[in-house]
Structure 1
């Protein structure tokens, strides 16, 4: 690697030593899973010595852990440019490509390593694994083209599913979700038991039928003297979801909620989270709302655990049905025509209106750009204007973009989720862009608080409640994730 040091001119011995010291400090933060601090120090090391591939490689893996796939991709590419023989950089770039659903580009990186290192068994194994995924996806696509008209929800035969005598869990009453059912279900799940597949399928079929009738932007009316709660990402952290209800009361017609996307993935109790939330949606359709997040998508579910979890606890067919249901989740909600809530953020264009959001055809996997993509993926930035996304999808938008959007659409402020925050929430853009994140100690590693927002209909003033993580059974996050991805991120 040292042979590339002439790339941007000579670096003094003092700077080389200082950079190594910074890298070693950064490595300690990385080991403690404090990735933001690690990134800061790797960046300082790069400033001292911009010619050392490992600094970029290490910053790349840190960004991968924070889901900054765009930055991870750029750093891995820079590391490769500095040292063509740096195998880990190819693996990290491949992991970033895979996280963005670009499996063929990932395969190219593995193919290159196998060519330059024909005797490297590890590289060969990773190439073969990635090749299997690419072929499987191609096969699934081919089948889905053949079955374009097949609607999984319509093809489920509930009558043929029998409830075994030994099943002791909650049951739907006359095929309907009741408060008794949801209350029993939540307790049943706390004991790590499984809802009968017949009831699980019925809930999904009914939720899909309801969501299909909803617009892409749902208008919510909250009376002056009534409370409304907005929660951010839950990410399969079922016991923390139960804690929210313990702190803030169960959802009801007098205690309405909006859950703002990313209900699943990473946390290993995603099935429990989504069936609880969907049950409340069916029970209180006009007082319980759910927005689509970037993790209610096929590529994310394939990599980050939800698809594996559903297949393990139920069937691959049910995993496909979830994909079908998620396609119908609304993309945004507007409270009293004054507060817009979406999972990701604002847009790369200036002239977007609420009507444009209403007109989005959402029944699909999100495209790589445009309104739907940006609602699910964008992030605020402190600088004015816009920048390419650190995630490699969507955009980053500044305070001026937020102010212009609010003025154009007669709004007071926006609420979004999508990013871990140490306090569980963050006010940006003069308080006009609020992030709320409801999964405390995210992935059992980040040490962050969770938060939710309460407001009343009259002034819509946001109030923040924060809380720590609660204990959960010993099932690690990412237990069902694609093992290949975690292997690449070592």
Structure 2
């Protein structure tokens, strides 16, 4: 962190400035210990005393970057640039926020400005070159892209049928090309032993799930019988061994034990391939009793940064990575349980007249846009105060208790369930019981110390019951093992 703030230490210190500097010093210590929430609090106290201090703002921007509050990080960095156009660290922070939001041209402009002011800054030059490569690659991909008939993956990739299975392969096999319970049991055991599903069967599962998902609506209606149990899980984020623990605690999926997994199956955790094939396998085995919703991390930009693309390239091929991108575009965006509970990954909307019919009519076969209903379903977050607020993420919106109440009244819903945020106990009940968050990745990224949770309810009263659980051990592969170099750039570099 910036330490002296340009203060002449021999001169008498203004008591107000001294107080602010003390807050900054405390924040710096918290930051070094990775206590980012505490650091944020201290930087905010300093900024309340000096709202236009570029150093305080840039430091808080970096803290927001570490917390992945990219919208707030961008706002602080931009304010710092306006307050002091010569303070180059602010441009670094803003560039990192732009990168996280997929705004690579704007990031490049900031990196190039710093390079022009500091031509011998090797780190900035490297970041500018990396960003330039991305901008050129995106421009090239756009230039060569052509409209193609809307063929299924199986129609496009007919060559997969001719793949030979080596004699030495002893892993799980599809039966007549279909997923069976025996296959799923063998697949999960295979993954527990850190082995790999043969590429022919992996390709086949992707082709089969592609055909199925194309037929689904953007909002899926689910009927839960009165005496039946139903389970909702939140983010898994590539934590395969914790996914196995959920099934141990709550039972394997079956027609009598249905599940809904509410997005963010992949990225960050380094067993995302194992998670996604397990989930896709159960979807094919129990199509009417196992449900999957799209999260904000089931998208190309997130996958390229946070590890899923790198993991697929390491374990399989570029072709398979592209197939996942296509399949994710067809995942449903939300589910409605017994016409009483709406489940989506992110949250509610900046418009106050959105109906369930509006959600059913969303054209979802695309990468998530930066605004609109699809974006907000995947990215929005609740806030404690009434009304709408700017998104801390820079995408979507933040919505208050009054927004949730009005949406539920308009659509005759009891409450909503969403995921998307780490919670200490794995869940949180907010907005007078009408907004529930569930997060199912315990000790997120091996650092957060949170519990995971899942929700169970029955069709009769739809009352949510919560089960929290601790993380279980996993093989010695660290989270973010497959993340790209973009991730370190988004973290904002060193303070």
Q: Which residue of 1 aligns with 2:116?
A: 115
Matches within 5 A, 1:66-465: 66-145=67-146, 152-156=153-157, 157-465=159-467
Further displaced range: 154-163 or 404-413: 154-163
Q: Which residue of 2 aligns with 1:63?
A: 64
Q: Is the 8 A contact 1:104 1:134 kept in 2?
A: yes
In 1, the alpha carbon distance for the partners of 2:17 and 2:106 equals 34
In 1, the alpha carbon distance for the partners of 2:19 and 2:401 equals 36
Query: Residue 146 of structure 2 aligns to a residue in which SS?
Result: helix
Residue 159 (structure 1) shift: 1.8
In 2, the alpha carbon distance for the partners of 1:225 and 1:3 equals 65
Q: Which among 445, 467, 470 is matched to residue 468 of structure 1?
A: 470
Q: Is the 8 A contact 1:26 1:42 kept in 2?
A: yes
Q: Is the 8 A contact 1:90 1:113 kept in 2?
A: yes
* Alignment: residue pair count: 485
Query: Residue 261 of structure 1 aligns to a residue in which SS?
Result: coil
Q: Which residue of 2 aligns with 1:483?
A: 485
Distance 1:95-1:412 versus aligned 2 partners, 3 A rule:
same
Deviations along 1:215-252, one digit per CA (max 9) or x if unpaired, are 10000111111110000011111111111111111111
Further displaced range: 241-250 or 330-339: 241-250
In 1, the alpha carbon distance for the partners of 2:25 and 2:151 equals 55
Further displaced range: 47-56 or 434-443: 47-56
Query: Residue 435 of structure 1 aligns to a residue in which SS?
Result: strand
Residue 135 (structure 1) shift: 1.2
In 1, the alpha carbon distance for the partners of 2:343 and 2:150 equals 33
Deviations along 1:357-409, one digit per CA (max 9) or x if unpaired, are 00111111111111111100111111111112111111111111111110111
Deviations along 1:137-180, one digit per CA (max 9) or x if unpaired, are 22222333365767654221222211111212111111111111
Query: Residue 465 of structure 1 aligns to a residue in which SS?
Result: strand
Q: Is the 8 A contact 1:217 1:333 kept in 2?
A: yes
In 2, the alpha carbon distance for the partners of 1:231 and 1:29 equals 33
- TM-score normalised by length of structure 1: 0.95
Distance 1:223-1:143 versus aligned 2 partners, 3 A rule:
same
In 1, the alpha carbon distance for the partners of 2:335 and 2:308 equals 25
Further displaced range: 259-268 or 57-66: 57-66
Q: Is the 8 A contact 2:231 2:258 kept in 1?
A: yes
Residue 131 (structure 1) shift: 0.6
Q: Which runs of 5+ in 1 are unaligned?
A: 6-10
Q: Is the 8 A contact 1:33 1:446 kept in 2?
A: no
Q: Which residue of 2 aligns with 1:8?
A: none
Q: Which residue of 2 aligns with 1:43?
A: 44
Deviations along 1:186-209, one digit per CA (max 9) or x if unpaired, are 111122211111111110110010
Further displaced range: 90-99 or 166-175: 90-99
Deviations along 1:53-84, one digit per CA (max 9) or x if unpaired, are 23222221222222211001111222323343
Distance 1:168-1:143 versus aligned 2 partners, 3 A rule:
farther
Q: Which runs of 5+ in 2 are unaligned?
A: none
Deviations along 1:251-272, one digit per CA (max 9) or x if unpaired, are 1111100000000111111111
In 1, the alpha carbon distance for the partners of 2:18 and 2:475 equals 45
Q: Is the 8 A contact 2:234 2:261 kept in 1?
A: yes
Q: Is the 8 A contact 2:152 2:210 kept in 1?
A: no
Q: Is the 8 A contact 1:91 1:488 kept in 2?
A: no
In 1, the alpha carbon distance for the partners of 2:99 and 2:483 equals 13
Q: Which residue of 2 aligns with 1:16?
A: 17
In 1, the alpha carbon distance for the partners of 2:128 and 2:154 equals 36
- TM-score normalised by length of structure 2: 0.94
In 2, the alpha carbon distance for the partners of 1:413 and 1:149 equals 37
Residue 29 (structure 1) shift: 2.8
Query: Residue 34 of structure 2 aligns to a residue in which SS?
Result: coil
Q: Is the 8 A contact 1:268 1:305 kept in 2?
A: yes
Q: Is the 8 A contact 1:153 1:321 kept in 2?
A: no
Distance 1:347-1:146 versus aligned 2 partners, 3 A rule:
closer
Distance 1:255-1:78 versus aligned 2 partners, 3 A rule:
same
Deviations along 1:270-299, one digit per CA (max 9) or x if unpaired, are 111101100010011000000000111111
RMSD: 1.9
